[in-house]
Amino acid sequence: MKKIKTARNLEQYRQEIIKKDSKYKKIITVCGGTGCHAYGCQLVKQRFQKELQRNKLLNRVRLKFTGCHGFCERGPIVTIRPENIFYQRVQENDVPEIIKETISKGRVVKRLLYEDSITKEKIVHMEEIPFYKFQKRLVLGQNGLLEPDKIQDYIAVGGYSALVKALKLSSEKIIEIIKNSGLRGRGGAGFPTGRKWEFCREAEGEIKYVICNCDEGDPGAYMDRSLLEGNPHSVIEGMIIGAFAIGAKEGYIYVRHEYPLACRNAQIAINQARQLGLLGKDILGSEFDFDIKIGKGGGAFVCGESTALIASLEGRVGEPRDKQHLHTTESGLWGKPTNINNVETWANVPLIINKGPEWFYRIGTEKSKGTKIFSLVGKVKNTGLVEVPMGMTLREIIFDIGGGTSDGKEFKAVQTGGPSGGCLPAESLDLSVDYEQLSAAGSMMGSGGMIVMDETTCMVDVAKYFLNFLKEESCGKCLPCREGIKRMLEIVTDITEGRGAEDSLALLEELATVVADTSLCGLGKTAPNPVLSTLRYFRNEYENHVRNRKCPAEVCAPLLRYVILADCCKGCGLCMKACPYNAISGRPKEVYTINQDICTKCGSCRSVCKFSAIVIG
Amino acid sequence: MYTRQVERILANYKDNRTALISILQDIQAEFNYLPAEVLKLVAQKLNLKLIDVYSISNFYKSLRLSPQGKHIITICTGTACHVRGTLKVLDEIQSQLGIAPGDTTQDKKFTFNTVNCLGACAIGPVIVVDGKYYGHTNPMKARQILSNLKRKIKQ
């Protein structure tokens, strides 16, 4: 690759790539996201490669192994462009038929199409599938169009044109554009991005840093991973623009070590951008120097907090410090002014520069602009990554896009904001999703996890789950968080194991308030949210556990007792075979019994009984 | 016995102590875990106190102070997997292997780990056995997966 020295050269290079690509009459994309990987998309891709070669189609058909397409429930996903035909659950053996029918004859393979769950109609095109139809995929949309390890693909779709534009502007002008767009941090807290940039720019000091936070620790959230894996250049382009505006010469991408593919793709992207001269000295002849390094996290949730992240980058234990009096924009990495933004925030920057702040400002609600990516997971039919304009209601996201709960069970709650967020009940479904509304309801936007729960989810158990998570992840520096979470967990555990007392709930509330008020960093301050929000909306469930020693959702094992109904049992013996602990005994054609001393309440027996003879007594 | 390899890794980072986490990750990749002697060696070479190196090794989950078994079984305990019944699967694996999460069997054959989230929420509850993903698991499926693995080892 030759270095690109001017904006004109970049444009020429873009035209060259487009011209070269025009020989391809068709493009096959195979989704290489995490979900599809687990389904075996690697084999599908290899088979396509082999079959295209065998049929001598490689110079007419381009095979792209892309980032996440979002609809993980239906993976492995294959699309055929330019028609945008959407094939789902594609297996290796389906490949020859796709080549023979769709690629060679232009015919659709019906059995691989998505079937609408209500109308039973087969849907051919991606954009007509309800899961995609209601989304606005501004940031995530390019994922399906490009191979993340080919910078040419990104340049072909207009990549780095925002950088060209930005380099012609003054720093003040760029910051003004970002401020006017109304962009707010996508990592959780929602601080106005333009203002943060301005603080950092105005901070005193010659050396400044920009950091991309990809320490995505929220369990159930994988938006940032998919973005950095699937479209790393959009993040890098955003960072270069930000660094130019702020006056930083060095940047870091901080990635969780659990995301090896994101590390790899980001490193490849950085190397390619360097080779082309888009990173390094005198970028596009602007006399602006900037380069990016990757810092790998060590697997600690607290390192998503900005000061802990900085400690980790400096090679220290990831403990946060008080930042109320000294912001990272004044004193961050190695004591220098540092601007940290989340992956999704950075990826929005090139879009805003290209399309203008007014365009961005028009999308969303009064105070929350643009789109937000959510990972819609849990007990929902269409699991995956969805990008929607701010202000869409939870109902639209969960039911119109997500297709409602899986197995047709009754919706109970949706959890947003990860361990810092809260659980919202069915009455909140018409809430429009923006920073303020979610906070007012006792949850928060967070980085974008959205976990759907149905009638079989116990809300006390969910609170226990998050407390247990936070107990493990609390760094231990400040007492309220270290001890408070532990004590809250003890109380909630007692409740789920039948030892709850009448005053447990009041004590829990009091403790939660103290932890929220007195903890040092965001982890501790928000740690009580899962408890407080479940107490607020699902208090009767707690009371049922405490007073009646019952778990209505049938989750808390110590409160359950599996019994076999003599009237219904046909003596088939399936339950006995299914029990992993040999807790069931009996003879064929007679009524079987469960030994309560051995039973672990795993439910295996009930799931196999054909006569509904096993119930919770 | 570790000196040569450790020196080579340190040289990659130009003896830069701020890269300590990456250095320890690289060393771990070489030795499977972080032996006590190696921690002492790193502290000495980088002119750090042993407690500084130890506290890092102890704080970050990706760093291990004891060796892993030959086969690694990981279960995702993310929220999406949790609401779909991970705990029951975890209990089953625990009783099958006879070890708690984070431990290795005495014969050093199996290590059982939990992970906060794998980002494969669509197919939860997820188990990963030696890098291979198993989705939509339940206690019975887990038992099968483990007995298949044990049978394969015997062969």
Residue A306: pLDDT band (50, 70, 90) is: very high
Residue B101 lies in a domain: yes
Q: pLDDT, tens digit, for every residue of B69-89? A: 999 999 999 999 999 999 999
Residue A159: pLDDT band (50, 70, 90) is: very high
Residue B65 lies in a domain: no
Same domain, B40 and B80: no
Distance from CA of A383 to the nearest CA of B (A): 5
**For residue B106, what is the domain's CATH number?**
3.40.30.10
**Contact check, Cβ <8 Å, A298/B118:** no
Asked whether residue A595 carries a pLDDT value surpassing 90, the answer given is: yes
Reduced to 3 states, what is the DSSP secondary structure of residue B19?
helix
Cβ neighbours around A167 below 10 Å, total: 18
**Greater pLDDT, A146 or A296:** A146
**Contact check, Cβ <8 Å, B121/A222:** yes
Asked whether residue B11 carries a pLDDT value surpassing 80, the answer given is: yes
List Cβ neighbours of A507 (8 Å cut-off, separation of 6 or more). Answer: A491
Structure tokens at B4: 């040569």
Same domain, A439 and A477: no
Same domain, B78 and B134: yes
Residue A600 touches chain B, beta carbons under 8 Å: yes
Asked whether residue A471 carries a pLDDT value surpassing 90, the answer given is: yes
Residue A90 pLDDT: 97
Same domain, B142 and B103: yes
Residue B15: pLDDT band (50, 70, 90) is: low
**For residue A507, what is the domain's CATH number?**
1.20.1440.230
Same domain, B24 and B76: no
Q: Which domain holds residue B141?
A: 71-154
Distance from CA of A312 to the nearest CA of B (A): 8
Same domain, A399 and A284: no
Which of A179, A287, A193, A200 shows the shortest CA–CA distance to A247? A200
Same domain, A344 and A396: no
Asked whether residue A602 carries a pLDDT value surpassing 70, the answer given is: yes
**For residue A105, what is the domain's CATH number?**
3.40.30.10
Reduced to 3 states, what is the DSSP secondary structure of residue A527?
coil
Residue A57 pLDDT: 94
Residue B12 pLDDT: 87
Residue A554 lies in a domain: no
Same domain, A191 and A282: yes
**Contact check, Cβ <8 Å, A219/B116:** yes
Number of domains within chain A:
5
Cβ contacts from A onto B, under 8 A: 142
Taking each continuous run of H as one helix and of E as one strand, the counts in chain A are 25, 19
Mean pLDDT, chain B, integer: 91
Which of A462, A445, A426 shows the shortest CA–CA distance to A345? A445
Q: pLDDT, tens digit, for every residue of A77-86? A: 999 999 999 9
Residue B84 pLDDT: 92
Residue A156: pLDDT band (50, 70, 90) is: very high
Residue A188 pLDDT: 81
Mean pLDDT to the nearest integer, A302-329: 90
Residue A580 pLDDT: 82
Same domain, A315 and A170: yes
Torsional class of A89: left (φ above 0), alpha (ψ -120 to 50), beta (otherwise): left
Same domain, A247 and A332: yes
Burial class (CB in 10 A: 0-12, 13-18, 19+), A126: buried
Sort out which chain A residues have CB atoms less than 8 A from B118's CB and list them.
34, 258
Residue A491: pLDDT band (50, 70, 90) is: very high
Residue A35 pLDDT: 85
**For residue A601, what is the domain's CATH number?**
3.30.70.20
Same domain, B53 and B87: no
Mean pLDDT to the nearest integer, A533-552: 96
Q: pLDDT, tens digit, for every residue of A387-411? A: 999 999 999 999 999 999 998 899 9
Mean pLDDT to the nearest integer, B139-148: 92
Sort out which chain A residues have CB atoms less than 8 A from B133's CB and list them.
37-38
Q: Which domain holds residue A606?
A: 561-616
Same domain, B24 and B89: no
Which of A249, A214, A239 shows the shortest CA–CA distance to A162? A239
Residue A205 lies in a domain: yes
Residue A323: pLDDT band (50, 70, 90) is: confident
Q: What percent of chain A has pLDDT over 90?
A: 88
Q: What percent of chain A has pLDDT over 70?
A: 100
* Residues of A (16-45) whose Cβ lies below 8 Å from B: 34-35, 37-39
Mean pLDDT to the nearest integer, A592-603: 91
Cβ neighbours around A320 below 10 Å, total: 24
Sort out which chain B residues have CB atoms less than 8 A from A581's CB and list them.
95
Sort out which chain A residues have CB atoms less than 8 A from B126's CB and list them.
38
Cβ neighbours around A434 below 10 Å, total: 23
Residue ending a domain, among B13, B30, B59, is B59
Residue A330 lies in a domain: yes
Mean pLDDT to the nearest integer, A373-377: 95
Same domain, A278 and A356: yes
Residue B64 lies in a domain: no
Mean pLDDT to the nearest integer, A51-57: 95
DSSP E strand stretches across A215-337:
250-255, 291-296
Sort out which chain B residues have CB atoms less than 8 A from A32's CB and list them.
none
Residue ending a domain, among A97, A128, A159, is A128
Mean pLDDT to the nearest integer, B5-13: 90
**For residue A398, what is the domain's CATH number?**
3.10.20.600
Residue A133 pLDDT: 95
Asked whether residue A310 carries a pLDDT value surpassing 90, the answer given is: yes
Residue A6 lies in a domain: no
Same domain, B87 and B145: yes
* Residues of A (339-358) whose Cβ lies below 8 Å from B: none
Mean pLDDT to the nearest integer, B20-47: 92
Residue A257: pLDDT band (50, 70, 90) is: confident
Residue B2 pLDDT: 87
Residue ending a domain, among A313, A342, A361, is A361
Task: State ipTM.
Answer: 0.91
Same domain, A110 and A258: no
Mean pLDDT to the nearest integer, A287-293: 96
Number of domains within chain B:
2
Residue A145 lies in a domain: no
Residue ending a domain, among A300, A328, A361, is A361
A130 φ/ψ angles, rounded to the nearest 5 degrees: -50, -40
Q: B139 near B88, Cβ under 8 Å?
A: yes
What CA–CA distance (Å, rounded) separates A46 from A44?
6
Residue B18 pLDDT: 79
Residue A46 lies in a domain: yes
Residue B66 lies in a domain: no
Mean pLDDT to the nearest integer, A137-160: 95
Residue B104 lies in a domain: yes
Same domain, A484 and A536: yes
